Amino acid sequence: MLRLVPFALALAAPAFAQEAPRYDVAERTRALAFDPARFFAERPDPAIAIRYVGDDRSVPVYAIAVRRGCIDSDRGEARLECGQRLIARMVRAPFPGTPRRPRERGYRLIRTLEQRRPDGDNALRRGLDGAGLEWMEADVRQCPKAMAQLATMGELRFVTDIDFDRRLSEIVLHADIIRFEVGDYLLRASYEGWLKPGTAGAWADAFAESLEGCWKPATAPVPWKAPVQ
């Protein structure tokens, strides 16, 4: 016996409302506060730029920009004598005491900011204002350890130990990552990767370490208040 199955025209169901993308506090913190291109108002391409982020979430730990020559605060006679100046500025996530691993700075900062539940850049800027970020400046030429490190820049290796015939790649899990750029007129070189000994990234982290003891509080406006390019 043939049974007839009734056929009903299905009305189009209303589309499910899509949730708005969650505001990414870590990504926006990296963009607003830890971008070296925002550290000097007059020049977005510093001679040296370093960004250190931690673990798989890329939590921001520190960022450094080095500007050659005059800076935005130079006026009058100082403007005529600053051609060979090297000024470094740094933003670093705060931490009470000494962290066991650098990434602990970044995770603590992002947790603090997320607790405020910022829903946009303006709210995040207010959170950054109260987060205790280190905003520092150093005269590199007055810092002997940093100058000694700069003297070895000619030995930098931006590509090292890449072997396309090797059957198994070197495995590194949950590594902190350093992004390093150095530039001169019509010349720019960069490194991005883990702090593998002998690489330009390891050199950049050692340069950051060489500036310790030379930092003083910066008087320039904080980078997260700079206009978005």
Q: Which amino acid is at 92?
A: R
pLDDT number for residue 8: 45
Asked if residue 215 lies in contact with residue 90, where contact means CB atoms within 8 angstroms, the answer is yes
Name the pLDDT band for 193 (thresholds 50, 70, 90): very high
Phi, psi at residue 127, to the nearest 5°? Answer: -65, -40
Which ranges in 36-176 belong to alpha helices (H)? 77-80, 103-114, 121-129, 144-150
Q: Is the pLDDT of residue 227 over 80?
A: no
Please tell me the pTM assigned to this model: 0.85
> 23-32, 65-74, 177-186: which has the highest mean pLDDT?
23-32
Asked if residue 156 lies in contact with residue 203, where contact means CB atoms within 8 angstroms, the answer is yes
Summarize pLDDT for 50-109 with one digit per residue, the tens. Answer: 999 999 899 999 999 999 887 776 665 556 677 788 999 999 999 998 999 999 999 999
C-alpha to C-alpha distances, 52 to 38, 106, 176, 217, nearest whole angstrom: 16, 10, 7, 20
